[in-house]
Amino acid sequence: MAFEGLTEKLSAAFKKLRGKGRLSEADVKEAMREIRLALLEADVSYKVVKQFIAQVTEKAVGADVLEALSPAQMIIKIVNQELTDLMGGTSAKLEIASKPPTIVMMVGLQGAGKTTNCAKLAGLMKKQNGKRPLLAACDIYRPAAIKQLEVVGQQLDLPVFQMGQANPVDIAKAAIAHAKEHGNDMVFLDTAGRLHVDEELMDELRAIKAAVEPTEILLVVDAMIGQDAVNAAKAFDDALDIDGVVLTKLDGDARGGAALSIKAVTGKPIKFVGVGEKLDQIEVFHPDRMASRILGMGDMLSLIEKAEQNFDRQKALEMQEKLRKNKFTLTDFYEQMAQIKNMGSLSDLAGMLPGVKASDLEGANMDDGMLKQMEAIILSMTPYERENPGCLNSNRKKRIAAGSGTQVVDVNRLLKQFEMLQTITKQFSGGKLPRNMRKLMG
């Protein structure tokens, strides 16, 4: 799968940072060096890498360290954001003409996957957007190109327009007239390719563009050829002013350089990616999702996001104060558990806390059922009991269990979790919680 090496190397770079509470300048420098090498090995163009590292460094140095995040998480967050921006930020939509039909002209080198992806994309539009696309066979040079388009069209139950070996400009115009007549609201033009960029091809494509004024010109490029794909994209864009890219064969691209460089080099976004030979294996390209996939830490990233969203500084300070004065009660405990649940499982969080092993908190994972049960148990206590859990003898526990429809073991488990949290927090004496711990508390 794509980006394997890159993901592995970036993870290794981040892992070194993770145990550290504070990052020295040397730590950051070393991490940047590793990220730089990882990107170069992934065949990202040198210029792009250089600029990327400069931006990450600048942001890392100038960043307000958020209370909710550790320095290592901060760097991951910045790299994630910069990777997303590098690939275009938000996902770029296919433009739909205000007056149908929408004309999508597919261009690219031979073998890139033009014909296949004409059908894939038309199929996607039909399935997801309820469109009625027409495929038009404008590649009159490659033997069997017309037949191939008919075959894939048939598989997806899409109509195919063809005029044999006629002039491609005439075919394109006739296809559009045909679409208007038959109620097809999209036309996908499968144009000719060559093994290399050449002027004759560009002239033909320019002529089609001038004749039909397509809504979108999409360039199909093969991710597996790495920087050559980026060069092809540059050449096609210079000649035709393309609107976007369909990056195919991402499933076979172990490095990912093209995906990361195309937007930076051409200024044009990747709109779709091909991820397999099957005709439904095409996806809308989401730079943010791709970035977290590259980082191989989707979970970590959403945890960071949640921590930021849920972090309530005021509340954290109140809790700290209560803990310091030993006034942290079961009511507070319940509130905290509900917050933690919003942020993910307790063991996930534990994994991010320095010095806490996930196994320390085993059995403490929150799910909705458990939280409801905890709520019932705590609500079955008297206010006095909630504030003074030490008074809970077996009679009281029995009464609480009966009142909450649970067993005494459930009550005991809850008390044990409560104690565990107290123990962890007490380790940090003096009332000052380390950065990461505050998140758990707040």
Among 100, 252, 296, 434, binds ligand GDP (CB under 6 A): 252
C-beta separation of 71 from 24 below 8 A: no
Cα distance between residue 377 and residue 375, in whole Å: 5
C-beta separation of 94 from 104 below 8 A: yes
Residue 116 interacts with ligand GDP (CB under 6 A)? yes
Cα distance between residue 370 and residue 376, in whole Å: 10
φ, ψ (nearest 5 deg) of residue 248: -100, 170
Question: How many angstroms separate the Cα of 410 from the Cα of each of 18, 404, 414, 430?
Answer: 35, 10, 6, 32
- Residue range at the interface with ligand GDP (CB under 6 A); choices 2-10, 249-257, 306-314, 342-350: 249-257
Among 249, 271, 386, 439, binds ligand GDP (CB under 6 A): 249
Handedness of CA 313, 295, 14, 348 (dihedral sign): positive
Cα distance between residue 256 and residue 54, in whole Å: 20
Cα distance between residue 196 and residue 225, in whole Å: 13
Cα distance between residue 215 and residue 105, in whole Å: 8
Residue 159 interacts with ligand GDP (CB under 6 A)? no
Residue 351 interacts with ligand GDP (CB under 6 A)? no
Among 36, 77, 114, 435, binds ligand GDP (CB under 6 A): 114
**Least CB distance from residue 274 to ligand GDP, whole Å?**
2
Residue 256 interacts with ligand GDP (CB under 6 A)? no
Residue 228 interacts with ligand GDP (CB under 6 A)? no
**Least CB distance from residue 8 to ligand GDP, whole Å?**
22
Size of the site for ligand GDP (CB under 6 A): 20
- Residue range at the interface with ligand GDP (CB under 6 A); choices 76-84, 113-121, 323-331, 383-391: 113-121
Check residue 250 and report its DSSP letter.
Answer: G
- Residue range at the interface with ligand GDP (CB under 6 A); choices 15-23, 275-283, 409-417, 424-432: 275-283
Among 34, 251, 308, 348, binds ligand GDP (CB under 6 A): 251
Residues 6 or more apart from 384 whose CB is under 8 A from it? 391
Among 58, 238, 241, 277, binds ligand GDP (CB under 6 A): 277
**Least CB distance from residue 138 to ligand GDP, whole Å?**
11
Cα distance between residue 390 and residue 403, in whole Å: 19
Judged by CB, which is closer to ligand GDP: 231, or 248?
248
Cα distance between residue 154 and residue 148, in whole Å: 10
Judged by CB, which is closer to ligand GDP: 248, or 425?
248
- Residue range at the interface with ligand GDP (CB under 6 A); choices 13-21, 22-30, 42-50, 106-114: 106-114
Count of other CB atoms within 10 angstroms of residue 369? 8
Residue 274 interacts with ligand GDP (CB under 6 A)? yes
Residue 413 interacts with ligand GDP (CB under 6 A)? no
How is residue 161 written in tokens? Answer: 């327009």
How is residue 212 written in tokens? Answer: 């039909």
**Least CB distance from residue 248 to ligand GDP, whole Å?**
4
Residue 283 interacts with ligand GDP (CB under 6 A)? no
Residue 111 interacts with ligand GDP (CB under 6 A)? yes
Cα distance between residue 299 and residue 260, in whole Å: 22
Judged by CB, which is closer to ligand GDP: 45, or 116?
116
Cα distance between residue 172 and residue 103, in whole Å: 10
| One-letter amino acid of 251 | D
Among 81, 110, 167, 302, binds ligand GDP (CB under 6 A): 110
Cα distance between residue 423 and residue 163, in whole Å: 79
Judged by CB, which is closer to ligand GDP: 39, or 106?
106
**Least CB distance from residue 152 to ligand GDP, whole Å?**
8
Cα distance between residue 255 and residue 84, in whole Å: 17
Cα distance between residue 309 and residue 342, in whole Å: 10
Three-state secondary structure call for residue 266: helix
C-beta separation of 187 from 96 below 8 A: no
Question: How many angstroms separate the Cα of 214 from the Cα of each of 96, 98, 113, 182, 189?
Answer: 11, 12, 20, 19, 9
**Least CB distance from residue 280 to ligand GDP, whole Å?**
11
Query: Interaction with ligand GDP in 190-209: which residues (CB under 6 A)?
Result: 193
Using CB atoms, what's the residue nearest to ligand GDP? 274
- Residue range at the interface with ligand GDP (CB under 6 A); choices 3-11, 47-55, 246-254, 342-350: 246-254
Q: Which stretches of the chain bind ligand GDP, using CB under 6 A?
A: 108, 110-117, 193, 220, 248-249, 251-252, 274-277, 281
